[in-house]
Structure 1
C-alpha cells in the first residue's frame, strides 16, 4: 500500500508538498474504502482535481521517476543525462537556490511492514538516499543510508568487501540508486531492502494514456483471467458489449483480404522479423506475430448486444474512442483488484463519457480488492459522497504564483448531505481555473 508521498523542488512543487492516503477515522461512509488489516488504516482510492497546468500530472510523473530510479540499475554513462534531468525538472520560477536538491519521500507498506524511502538529487548526483522502517508517527529505524561516497547499513550484517563493491558502484555512477543496484545484483541479503525494491518493481504501477491495441492483444492473450475481467467490466459499466475475444487468423488467409500493396509491405516486414500493426485513422487494428513457426494475425472482436438480445461480432473500428480508451484502462483496474497493486492513472476520464467513468470508479469501489487506485481527473460527476467517494478520498491541486499546492477535501468541514460537486464548481474548495475577461 502507498501511504504518503512528499516532493520538494520538483517541477512546479517549489516547496515541500505532501500527499497521503490516510483516512479520517470520523468519516463513516464507505467503510469498505478503508483497508484496516495492515500496519495502519489506508484508503483504497484517491481522486485528484485541479485546473489544467496546476501540477496534477507532475505528481504522477514524480512517482513514475521514483519507480524507475529505484528499480533500474543505471551506469556512469547516464550521468550527463541525469544532470540534465535535474536542471530540467527542478523548480525554476525563479531559482532561489541553484544548489537545492530535488527531494522525494515515499512511505509505503509491503508484507505488513511500513517503510520510508528518501532521496535527494542535485546536479552532482545523489546527495543522499535512505530506507527506514516507518514507525508510523513514532520512532523510525534506519535500514541503510548513503551519501555521495559511502553506504551505512544499520540492520543487515554486511561484510566489508560487499560494502566496498556498492561504494565503488555509486562512485562510478553518482546518480545510481543503492536500492536498485542491490535489487539487481543481490549483493546484500536483507529482507527489508528486498521488500522495498519489490514493492517499487512489482506493486507500483503508473499508467500512461495509450491506445496501443496490439500491445493489449498480446497482453490479454497471455491472461485468460484478464479477458474474463474485460467482459465483467463491459457488462457492469453499460457499454452494450457482452464480451471480448481475440480472433486468430493465418497470415496467408489475411493477405487475401487486403490490398496488394498492403500485403507486399506486410510480407516484407514480417519476413524480416519485424512486428506489424495495421493502422486505420490512427487506430491500431491488429497485430501480426509468429508462433511455432507460423505467422498469425490477431485482432480484438467485440460481441455487441443487438435487438432481442442477439449478439454481433464487431471489430475495433466499430468502437468509439471512449470504448477503446476504457479498454486500455482495464489492465490497471485488473492489477489493482486482483493483484493488490497500487495503480496511478493520469487523466482517467480522458475521452470517456462521464457515466462510464462513474460506473468504472463505482465498480472499483465495490470490488473486493486489496489494491489502490489513484487518479487525476476533471470529471466532477465523481465528486459524489453519497455514491462514490468519501471526502478524504478527494485531493485538490492549485497553483499559486507558479507554485503547486496540494490539499485534501478532508481539510474542509463537509456535512455528509451536501453536494461536493456543486461546491467545487462554485469555487468553495478552490483548485478551479481562473477565467479572466475575454
Structure 2
C-alpha cells in the first residue's frame, strides 16, 4: 500500500511536495475508509482536484515515471539520455538539477520500505532503499554518484555482480528484474505488480485494455474474473445482461509477408477473441429472448467501463494501488460513486486495494463519500509551480461542511480565476 509520495523538480513541481494516504489523526469521520495495517492507519481512496494545468496529472505521472525507472532503466544503453528527465523549467536554478522521488510504502507482506532516487539528464545521482524489519529502519543499500554502493547487513547475495554491470543511468533496483537478490524481489514486485498507473487519454490505449480483458475473460485463468465483470456490467445499468467471448478466424495470408510465423501466431492469438454483449429483446413489453451486439455498437461510456472495470477488478484481486487520471471520464457520476465505494468496503475490498484519481467532477465533493484527508487539491503558485494540500490542511473546515459549495465559491482554492470581461474577441 502507498503511504506517502514526495516529489521535487519534476514538470510543474519545483520544491518538495508531499501526497499522503496516511489518515490524519485529527480527522475522525468515515472511519470505515481506513484500514489498519501494522502500525499504520491507511486510506483506501484519495482524489485530486484543481484547475487545468495546475499539476494534478503531474503528481500522478510522477508515480508513473518512478515506476518506469524501476522497471525499464536496467535496459538503458550506455551514456543514453534518461528519457523521462523533465525538470521544472520556470526557474533557471532547477533546469539542470536532479528530479527527485521519495516513496514510502508497504509491500505485499506488510513490510514498510522507503525508496529514494534522484536523477539528471544522464546520471542517477543517488538511490537509497531502507526498510523496517522491526521498529527502527535498516539500510538495504545506498548509492551516490561516483561512489561505491554501500550495502546493509540484511542484503545478501551476489551484489557485486550487479554493481559491476551497472551503468550510471540505470537504477540498481531495476536490475532485480533479471538478477535475483532475494531481499529486493518483494520491492521490485511492488513496482511491477502492486502499482498500476493509468494516465493515458488515448483511445488506442483503451483498445489495448479492451483486448487485454477480452483475452483474460476468454482464457479464464483469473478466478471469477468473468463472473465479476458480468456482474459489474449488469449492475451498472448498461442494459447488458452478460458478456460473451467469440473466437473469429483471422486469415494469416492477409498479414505482412515479412512477419515470422511466430509473430503471426502471436498476433492471431491476441486478436482472435471478440466481446459480444448480450441484451434482452422484446415484443412490445414482453421479453422474447436475447440478441448480441458487437462491442463497437455500445456507447463510449460502456466501453470505458469495461476497461476501467477490468483495472478495478484486477486491483481488488491483487491488493494493488490503482492510479487513474480522470476516473470519471465518460462515466455517470452515480456510477463513479459506486466504483469508489467498492474500495471503501471490507467486503468488496478484502485485500486493501487503493484507488487514487484526479477529477473535475464536483458532485464527488461529498462529505458522506470522502473524509477531509482524502480530498486533495493541486494549486499553481504565482511563479507557476504546483503545490498540493488536502481539506484537512485547511483550518476551520469541519467534517459536516458542504465541500462542493465551498470549492465552487473558492473557499478551498484550486479553481481557475477567469475574467470574462477580458474576452474581447475580434472577428
Equivalent in the alignment of 1:420: 403
**Would you tell me which structure has more helix in proportion to its own residues?**
1
Instruction: Please point out which of 314, 334, 339 is paired with 2:313.
Output: 334
Equivalent in the alignment of 2:215: 218
Equivalent in the alignment of 1:236: 235
Equivalent in the alignment of 2:364: 382
CA distance in 2, matches of 1:402, 1:62: 18
CA distance in 2, matches of 1:432, 1:78: 45
Name the SS of the counterpart of 1:244 in structure 2.
strand
- For residues 139-150 of structure 1, the aligned pairs below 5 Å read 139-148=136-145, 149-150=147-148
- List runs of 5+ in structure 2 lacking aligned partners: none
CA distance in 2, matches of 1:343, 1:157: 29
Deviation at 1:233, TM superposition (A): 1.4
Name the SS of the counterpart of 2:57 in structure 1.
helix
Could you say if the C-alpha distance between residues 359 and 95 of structure 1 is closer, same or farther in structure 2, counting changes exceeding 3 Å?
Answer: same
Instruction: Please point out which of 130, 136, 161 is paired with 1:165.
Output: 161
Contact 2:45 2:340 in 1 (8 A): no
Q: How many residue pairs end up in the alignment?
A: 399
Deviation at 1:62, TM superposition (A): 1.2
Equivalent in the alignment of 1:203: 194
Contact 1:333 1:364 in 2 (8 A): no
Contact 2:218 2:273 in 1 (8 A): no
Contact 1:119 1:128 in 2 (8 A): yes
- List runs of 5+ in structure 1 lacking aligned partners: 252-262, 277-286
Work out whether 1:325 is the aligned partner of 2:304.
yes
Identify which range, 237-246 or 125-134, moves more after superposition. 237-246
- Normalising by structure 1, we get a TM-score of 0.83
Equivalent in the alignment of 1:300: 275
Instruction: Please point out which of 99, 105, 115 is paired with 1:108.
Output: 105
CA distance in 1, matches of 2:263, 2:360: 37
Could you say if the C-alpha distance between residues 129 and 396 of structure 1 is closer, same or farther in structure 2, counting changes exceeding 3 Å?
Answer: same
Contact 1:39 1:113 in 2 (8 A): no
CA distance in 2, matches of 1:248, 1:301: 10
Equivalent in the alignment of 2:178: 184
Work out whether 1:130 is the aligned partner of 2:128.
yes
CA distance in 1, matches of 2:3, 2:233: 31
CA distance in 2, matches of 1:157, 1:302: 52
Work out whether 1:363 is the aligned partner of 2:342.
yes
Root-mean-square deviation over aligned CA pairs:
2.7
CA distance in 1, matches of 2:279, 2:91: 55
Contact 1:358 1:381 in 2 (8 A): no
Deviation at 1:141, TM superposition (A): 2.4
Instruction: Please point out which of 373, 378, 382 is paired with 1:392.
Output: 373
Identify which range, 39-48 or 415-424, moves more after superposition. 415-424
4+ residue runs over 6 A deviation: none
CA distance in 2, matches of 1:208, 1:335: 17
- For residues 22-101 of structure 1, the aligned pairs below 5 Å read 22-75=22-75, 77=77, 79-82=79-82, 85-86=84-85, 89-101=86-98
Contact 2:301 2:331 in 1 (8 A): yes
Work out whether 1:436 is the aligned partner of 2:419.
yes
Deviation at 1:431, TM superposition (A): 1.1
CA distance in 2, matches of 1:23, 1:97: 32
Contact 1:151 1:163 in 2 (8 A): no
CA distance in 2, matches of 1:365, 1:75: 39
Contact 1:4 1:21 in 2 (8 A): yes
Deviation at 1:163, TM superposition (A): 4.2
